[in-house]
Structure 1
Amino acid sequence: MNDAQSTGLTRRTLLQAAGATAAAYSLVGAAAGTAGAQDRPEAADRLVVHPVPAGLPLNTSFSVKARKPGGVWRTVPVLRARTKTINEATGSGIVRDSSVAGFDFTGTVEVEVTSSKGAFGSARIRPLSYAVEHEVSGDTIRFSLDEPRNLSIEIDGNLYDNLHLHANPVEKQRPDADDPDVLHFGPGIHTVPDNVLKVPSGKTVYLAGGAVLKARVDFTNVENARLIGRGILYDADGGTTVAFSKNIEIDGILVLNPKTGYSCTIGQSQQVTVRNLHSYSYGQWGDGIDVFSSEDVLIEGVFMRNSDDCIAVYAHRWDYFGDCRNVTVRDSTLWADVAHPVNMGTHGNPEKPEVIENIVFSNIDILQHREPQVLYQGCFALNPGDSNLIRNIRIQDVRVEDFTWGQLVNMRVMANRYNASPGRGIEDVYVRNLTYDGDKANLAILTGYDADRPIKNLTFQNLEINGTVVHDKMRKPGWFLTTDMVPMFANEHVRNLRFLDGATAASTVAPEITSAGEATATRKRAFNHLVTATALPTSFDAEGLPKGLAVDKETGLISGTPKAPGTHTVTVSATNSVGTATKSIKLTVRNA
């Protein structure tokens, strides 16, 4: 076991083999843009299985093998993850062991999973939206993948003793271990003083596949820093903290069994990207990713299984102050064993009221929601308190599988035991292409606090419940409300609530773009700029982007890593069924 200094870091080479061969280590690379990184050509079919150091707990419920088509089977280590549910009769936590395995690949990979319990009757691979074809024979399930996936493999309906499989993309580059700007952790178990690694500005922390760091990684008052690799943050007080910082990137890390705290905290920071993070927690208040008073945040490709909220978006709390805006969560999978998959608005500053706005959730699979407390239910909970105002929220292309206990949505202007005052309201929310298949959902709730603190301008479009699209013109008894068909309760302080089918125009006027006319990026650093507009646009575009940036036409997010400095005039657009709005923005790419 290694001890590494956490202060005065300018150069580090930590390459403890821990039983791993040099050849195995040489297959590991780092994310694009790392100083001193070396490009690696990609083969048509490539498989990388990372070592697991001695001393990291394994789980024996499953054995996993993988291979390139027609190649030699390779054993994939299975780690022990811990999960927690709440005993609704006593309030005590029930902690269980589960299984996590992973590898990197390109092309096609064949996978074989065998249960140690012997032959089983049924198996499913989730998210169900992936429709992974598989075959079962006795005690084994076999399938192939041709693109990266985060999966749950469940035998005979068991949600707890299941296998989580992270089939990752292969890292395209790797850092030079001798680069003075790289804090390098090779395969093995590592510790640092006080169990906190404080990252200086301009540094990249690289956790190679097979590296285990028993510490929280802390980005406080820094700029232009990263945490990347295929390693593990294990058994620490939280996973990562980003506080009062800018241009921070976290990519490819597994946060496994933190003792306390959140897997990732983002507080009063700008330009933060969290990509391909996998998180498992079992502690009290074991949230996944919490965003406080921050701007221009991208969370993508994450898999979160947590003992509290998976994703939370707030304003002020603790030492963090200010509005929270321009947060995009996309292409991700959420599993809440306790509380909400998504929670928004609880914490703020009543003495100087704040706004939470321009929040986008797109292409999300929700696999589980289990919360006995009615006040903390909702796969999507928009619950402003502490004089917060929530506005301009988009929830689109979301698939909710049947869960154990809770509500599909809970939008409630409130004051609960955490709040000094009620929220100011919820306004301009667009929920499009939300599907739920199941029979466990409790009555969904929409409630404004009073006439001065309402919910207004809430549109559901193409809301599909068990195969039926719920809309205001659907066939139903004339005395039924549309909300009865969900079912959902809306009180008298909900204004302009609409349920539309997929073909009905959501707006009668063309959009107007409301996002900033100027933006500044940093060369070779992840950049996010969210294009926002009025009148419920259904698509976005951008022309004239510098090399390294692209626009997500579904969300309006411009993101990527710009390659060279310069000033660019970019024309952004937003379109709905009535028309298209355009706006020129000045995008400056500066040197670090």
Structure 2
Amino acid sequence: MTGEFTRRRLLQAAGATVAAGYLTSQTSAASADTAETKVPRLKTYPIPVGIAQATTFEVKVRTAPGPWQPVSAYSVNLKEINAKTGSGKILKSSMVYFDFAGPVEVMVTYTKGTINTARIRPLAAGIQPAIDGSTLKFTLTDPRKLVIEVNGEIFDCLHLLTRPIEVDAPDPNDPDVIYFGPGVHTTATGEVVVPSGKTVYLAGGAVLKAGVNFKNVADAALTGRGLIYGTKAGGCTIVDSKNIRVDGISMLDLVSGYAITAGQSEQVSITDFGYFSAGQWGDGIDIFSSSEILIDNSFLRCSDDCIALYTHRWDYYGDTRNVTISNSSLWADVAHPINVGTHGNTANPEVLENITISNVDILDHREPQKWYQGCIALNPGDSNLVRNVRIENVRVEDFRWGEFIHLRVAYNKTYNTSAGRGIEGVYVKNLTYTGQHAETAMMLGYDETRGIKDVTFQNLVVNGTVMASTMQKPRWFTVADMVPMHVNEHVTNLRWLDAATAPTDTPPVITTPDTAGLTAGAPVVLTLTATGFPSGFAVQGLPAGLVVDQTTGVVTGTPTAPGTSTATVSVTNAAGTTTKDLILTVQ
């Protein structure tokens, strides 16, 4: 049985429509890796024939003292906007990916000449390369997503996406798997429609020139190490679906559409994801009217918003809540790294709530239009209300043009039919900005009834100075003047705290519902919520297969067996700890 026939059979077994010529395949430049008796410490993947390669960098990796292995670089399109004309210029860049476990040495040769300067971002990673002529070297101890800039070049640079060695890759003959092996794959319709209970798997070295779509399904996934490339209608759409997992893949050079769209869906996890765009409306991940969303350990470099959270737009209706963005790096060549609240439903107002942004590095932001500035922008329009937002441990590097934070109850007549209803309950802790290009940040309520209230900054550090009420400043200055930030008259209960000052003297109140229903064998995203500036979460008695992130309070994993468990949730803040029982039923 040929590999081509096997993939056709798997598509049929999964319930996809397979017409004559539905799936075509072009073999890889190298054959697929043979099965190994033990998990390798380093795994690289050849670029298939016919996919553009970059030549600015030659990359080799090894686990010392083993031999160096070459890693070919994908050619990546990026965009730079002319601020005077609005026209965009496509610029070429490079991306490589590989998997490893344990320390790995990386050697990069710059083919255009001598390396005079080099830096590896995010800068918080603290990686200092050793430079020798046209070559630099460094060591990684854990998988990371990095940008290597040589001689100050931010476009013709090298993006390095590394991931853990896969230990649970599916069997190509599993009837519940739609399997794409190494090579280039297309479909007659330009999409793969995924049924409930099925997994689309892109093996390392696979390039799929088709979108992957989940529509009114449950318990399904898109996983692997391969790429979605050059599609005409976005990379992945998740609509009216539940328990959907996207993990370990990258997307390049989409002709149009967002990388990932989730609308009217719940329990969606997007992890270990990489994306690059150069198209108009080249958003990364856009969430509409959905709940229990996790975006974790991802890298997005976009020609529009990297991550956008909305309520109603187009055919999507309803609130958006319980969204966590964590452990990721974002680079917006245009617009926002993170944008919240622009689109909604004026006729039937909606809410965006319980949003956590944690341990995020913002590498760049370039936006000449004031309406669209803000590395993190809370911009409710269309009668949206944004509330209960926690932003913590966010590092903003020296971006090119914009604001490091922007809170505005907006009425942008280009996109809105009404102003937003307000912004309430924002806690910003350990946000640092280091740079010289930030414009004055904005915090603007719309009017007396549509304002901003209950915003707390704790340990906000701008160029090494803590912005707090205890800081040294002229007595007639406000703390906002020192940031600088323009705060208008429609902002109430704005506080500036140093790291030592407790934000509250009242223990937290846990607002998570008393019960939750889960499905055995299906991925879980369950957000624990609490008021009162929570600083830590714990759960005892979770069903097997589930874990909780003690910083964000997000429960993830896959429950392994049916049954009912009573878990004890503990939430801590500066004033104490509160507990609550949570009944979890796994069916």
Same fold (TM over 0.5): yes
Shorter-chain TM band: over 0.9
Matched AA of 2:581: S
Q: Cα distance 1:498–1:25, how it changes in 2: closer, same or farther (>3 A)?
A: farther
* Per-residue Cα deviation, 1:378-417 (whole angstroms, up to 9, x for no partner): 0000000000000000111000000000001110001111
* Per-residue Cα deviation, 1:63-106 (whole angstroms, up to 9, x for no partner): 10001111101100100111112100100011100000010000
Q: 2:240 aligns with which of 239, 244, 257?
A: 244
Q: How far, CA to CA, are the matches of 1:147 and 1:87 in structure 2?
A: 38
Q: Cα distance 1:41–1:325, how it changes in 2: closer, same or farther (>3 A)?
A: farther
| Residue pairs, 1:552-591, within 5 angstroms | 552-590=549-587
Equivalent residue for 2:315? 319
Equivalent residue for 2:501? 504
1:196 paired with 2:200, answer no
* Per-residue Cα deviation, 1:276-316 (whole angstroms, up to 9, x for no partner): 11000000010000111001111101100000000111001
Q: Cα distance 1:229–1:14, how it changes in 2: closer, same or farther (>3 A)?
A: farther
Q: How far, CA to CA, are the matches of 1:339 and 1:9 in structure 2?
A: 43
Report sequence identity in percent.
Answer: 53
| Residue pairs, 1:180-579, within 5 angstroms | 180-237=175-232, 238-416=234-412, 417-579=414-576
Q: How far, CA to CA, are the matches of 1:473 and 1:385 in structure 2?
A: 34
| Higher alpha-carbon deviation: 53-62 or 555-564 | 555-564
**Displacement of 1:155 after TM fit?**
0.4
Equivalent residue for 1:93? 88
Q: How far, CA to CA, are the matches of 2:473 and 2:355 in structure 1?
A: 34
* Per-residue Cα deviation, 1:226-266 (whole angstroms, up to 9, x for no partner): 11101110000211100100110011111001000101001
Q: How far, CA to CA, are the matches of 2:88 and 2:329 in structure 1?
A: 23
Matched AA of 1:61: T
**Displacement of 1:537 after TM fit?**
1.3
Equivalent residue for 2:19? none
Q: How far, CA to CA, are the matches of 1:115 and 1:239 in structure 2?
A: 31
Q: How far, CA to CA, are the matches of 1:194 and 1:149 in structure 2?
A: 35
Q: How far, CA to CA, are the matches of 2:125 and 2:342 in structure 1?
A: 33
Matched AA of 2:517: T
1:21 paired with 2:24, answer no
| Higher alpha-carbon deviation: 541-550 or 368-377 | 541-550
Equivalent residue for 1:50? 45
DSSP 3-state at the match of 2:517: strand
* Per-residue Cα deviation, 1:355-378 (whole angstroms, up to 9, x for no partner): 000010100000000001111000
**Displacement of 1:156 after TM fit?**
1.2
Q: How far, CA to CA, are the matches of 1:133 and 1:561 in structure 2?
A: 38
Q: Cα distance 1:16–1:284, how it changes in 2: closer, same or farther (>3 A)?
A: closer
DSSP 3-state at the match of 1:173: coil
Matched AA of 2:239: A
Q: How far, CA to CA, are the matches of 2:389 and 2:511 in structure 1?
A: 14
| Residue pairs, 1:28-47, within 5 angstroms | 41-42=38-39, 46-47=41-42
CA contact (8 A) 1:151 1:166 kept: yes
Equivalent residue for 1:31? none
Matched AA of 2:119: R
1:165 paired with 2:169, answer no
1:10 paired with 2:10, answer no
Q: 2:56 aligns with which of 51, 58, 61?
A: 61
Q: How far, CA to CA, are the matches of 1:49 and 1:360 in structure 2?
A: 34
Q: How far, CA to CA, are the matches of 2:67 and 2:530 in structure 1?
A: 53
Q: How far, CA to CA, are the matches of 1:535 and 1:68 in structure 2?
A: 47
Q: How far, CA to CA, are the matches of 2:290 and 2:213 in structure 1?
A: 16
DSSP 3-state at the match of 1:194: strand
DSSP 3-state at the match of 2:124: helix
CA contact (8 A) 2:27 2:49 kept: no
Report runs of 4+ in structure 1 exceeding 3 Å deviation.
1-9, 11-17, 40-43
DSSP 3-state at the match of 1:572: strand
Matched AA of 1:111: V
TM-score by length of 1: 0.95
**Displacement of 1:208 after TM fit?**
0.5
**Displacement of 1:563 after TM fit?**
1.6
**Displacement of 1:485 after TM fit?**
1.1
**Displacement of 1:18 after TM fit?**
2.1
TM-score by length of 2: 0.96
DSSP 3-state at the match of 1:570: strand
**Displacement of 1:25 after TM fit?**
5.3
**Displacement of 1:508 after TM fit?**
2.1
Matched AA of 2:58: S
DSSP 3-state at the match of 1:183: strand
Matched AA of 2:30: A
CA contact (8 A) 1:14 1:185 kept: no
Q: How far, CA to CA, are the matches of 2:131 and 2:15 in structure 1?
A: 50
DSSP 3-state at the match of 1:346: coil
**Displacement of 1:524 after TM fit?**
2.0
**C-alpha RMSD of matched pairs (Å):** 1.7
DSSP 3-state at the match of 1:460: strand
Q: How far, CA to CA, are the matches of 1:543 and 1:195 in structure 2?
A: 46
Equivalent residue for 1:123? 118
CA contact (8 A) 1:15 1:187 kept: no
Structure 2 unmatched runs, 5+: 17-22
Q: How far, CA to CA, are the matches of 2:295 and 2:13 in structure 1?
A: 28
Q: Cα distance 1:99–1:400, how it changes in 2: closer, same or farther (>3 A)?
A: same
* Per-residue Cα deviation, 1:146-205 (whole angstroms, up to 9, x for no partner): 101000000011110000001211111121111111101011111012211111111110
Aligned length: 575
DSSP 3-state at the match of 2:531: coil
